[in-house]
Structure 1
C-alpha cells in the first residue's frame, strides 16, 4: 500500500513503542519507527486525531523522569514527539493513553516531569479515550486490578533498586517480574476471547470499536469490534482510521507497507 501525498485521515493509533529502552537489554524497532514517521512527514500526511495507546515510553527499566532532566535525554524525547506532533492536523486532538510500562506510580500516573512535558505539547493524558464510535485503552486493565497493580509495582521497585546498583540485573529483574509476578498475556483462542470480553465489560464497549495494545498481538476480531495495534518490538504495526473504516497496517520494509486487516462500521 502507498500513502497519497497530502492526505488527511481521521486518526492514527500506535502503541507499545517502549521508547528509551536500550537494545542491549531488550529488542525494539525504534529505527524502523522513525523511518515510518519520517515517511509520513515527507508525504505531508496528517491526522485529525492522534492516539498513543500506551507503553510509549519505557519507564520500568530506567527513570524517564530523570532522563528528561538531562540535555541528551530531552533531545531523545524531542526526537520522537517532534515527529508525532508534525502528523497532527491543526484542529485535531492528541491523546496519550497511559500504559503499564509508562509508569511505576502506585496510582498509575505518569511521572510529573513527563506529564508536564506532554501537556506543554498539548497532549491529553488519560487512561481511556472515547468518542461516539471508538474506545481506546492500553489494555493492562484486563490483567491488573488496583491491588495486584500496587503489589507488582512494589516488587518491581525493589528489583530496580538492586538493578540500579548492579546494571547486569536489569534483564534479570524484568525476566523475574514477567515469570513470577506478571499475569501472562493470553495465548490460546479461549484466553484471548476471555481477555477481550473482560476489557469490553470494563470499558462498557457496547457497539463501539475497542482499540488496545499491551499484549503486542497485532490483530482484529471483527465479530466483537476489537483491534489491537500490535507493537514496535516485533510487529512494526499501526492503525489508521478513515471515517468509519479502521485499517491495520504493517511496515514490512522502508517505505513498504502492507494492509493486514480492515474493520468497517
Structure 2
C-alpha cells in the first residue's frame, strides 16, 4: 500500500484551491496530488486557473501528474464531493459553460459560500480586479518575462535545496514581497476585492489570481486568498466550527493563517506556525 492509502484523510466542510496552472512547467502537481489524496470535503472549490490554456498554446506540456490531478478531482466529484469550478483568466474558455455541469463539475462565474459559522463569502477568481491595479503586469501570470525569470530562479534554488536535504521554499514569493511596486499592486488588488465584497453585502471574499496567499480582516470584511500551486502550494480549508485556515503544503505541511470568523467583532489574530500540520492521524 502507498503512504496515501495508509493515511486517515482529514475531512473539511469546504476546501478552496486555485492557480494550479496544469499544463505549465512550474506547476507543483505532485504536491497538489499529495494534498488532494490527504483530504476529503463536502465541497471542493476550484477558484480559477486550474488549467493554463495560455501556456499550452505557446508550448504543449502535459506530464502524467497533471492528468492525475484532473482524474483525482473527477473521482472526488463522482464519489459525492460537490465540485464547483469558477474559471479564471487562464482557463477562461470554460466560461462558455457557466451554469452548466461538465463531468460532474458545476461551473459558475462566481458563487456564494455560507460557512458553518453562517458567514457568507463571495467566491471569484480575481482577474476582474486587474483594472484596479496600476501595475497589473506585475501580477499577471503567463507571458510575463519577469515572472518567468522569478520562477526560473525558484526552480533552480529548490533543486539545490533538495540536493542538500532542504524543504521547498518559494524564493519567488520572497523576492516579490520586497519589490515596492509589486506590494502596491497586491495592496490595490486586495482593496478592490474588499470593495466588491462590501458591494455584494457579504461577510468576506475568497479569491486567487495574484499568487499571494493571505487571510486578513479589512473594514469588517474577511479577505482570503488561497494562493497557488506554482510558488506557494497553499489551500484554504474550513473547519467544522466555521474557522477558515490557510494551509501550506510542501515537504512540511503547516498552518499559515487562520481566521476565527464566528465573531467578527473580536480582534483578528493571524497565527504562523512551523509545527507540522497533522493531516495524517
- Which range is displaced more, 9-18 or 202-211? 202-211
The structure carrying a bigger helix percent of its residues is 1
Structure 1 contact 46–88 (Cα < 8 Å) conserved: no
Q: Counterpart of 1:35?
A: 34
**Which structure is richer in relative contact order (CA contacts within 8 A, separation 6 or more)?**
1
Residues 92 and 226 (structure 1), Cα distance of their counterparts in 2 relative to 1, 3 Å cut? same
Corresponding residue of 1:212: 207
Whether 2:112 is the aligned partner of 1:130: answer yes
Gaps spanning 5+ residues in structure 2: where? 1-6, 115-119, 149-179, 262-281
SS in 2 for 1:197: helix
| Residues 238 and 131 of structure 1: CA distance in aligned 2, closer, same or farther (over 3 Å) | closer
**Contact 1:46 1:89 survives alignment (8 Å):** no
Q: Distance in 2 between matches of 1:111 and 1:63?
A: 18
Aligned residue for 1:110, secondary structure, equals helix
**Helix, strand or coil: the match of 2:43?**
strand
Question: Is residue 2:232 matched to residue 1:232?
Answer: no
CA drift of 1:131 comes to 3.1
Q: Which one of the candidate residues 106, 110, 119 is aligned to 2:94?
A: 110
Scaled by the length of structure 1, the TM-score of the pair is 0.65
Query: Per-residue displacement from partner, 1:70-116 (whole Å, max 9, x unpaired)?
Result: xx97977752222123445965521111111113xxxxx4277xx59
1:141/1:199 contact within 8 Å kept:
no
2:82 is matched with 93
The counterpart of 1:197, out of the listed 191, 204, 208, is 191
Offset of residue 6 of structure 1: 4.8
Superposition map of 1:1-150 within 5 A: 5-21=8-24, 23=25, 27-38=26-37, 40=38, 45-63=39-57, 78-87=67-76, 92-103=81-92, 109-110=93-94, 119-132=101-114, 133-144=120-131
The answer for the alignment partner of 1:221 in structure 2 is 216
How far apart are the structure 1 equivalents of 2:147 and 2:234?
26
**Unpaired stretches in structure 1, ≥5 consecutive residues:** 104-108, 146-151, 153-170, 179-184
Aligned to 2:145: 175
How much is the aligned-residue C-alpha RMSD, in angstroms? 3.8
TM-score normalised by structure 2 residue count: 0.62
Q: For residues 242 and 176 of structure 1, what CA distance do their matches in structure 2 show?
A: 37
The CA distance in 1 between the partners of 2:81 and 2:31, in whole Å, is 26
| Alpha-carbon distance in structure 1 between the residues aligned to 2:81 and 2:68 | 21
Kept in 1: contact 2:74–2:104 (CA 8 A): no
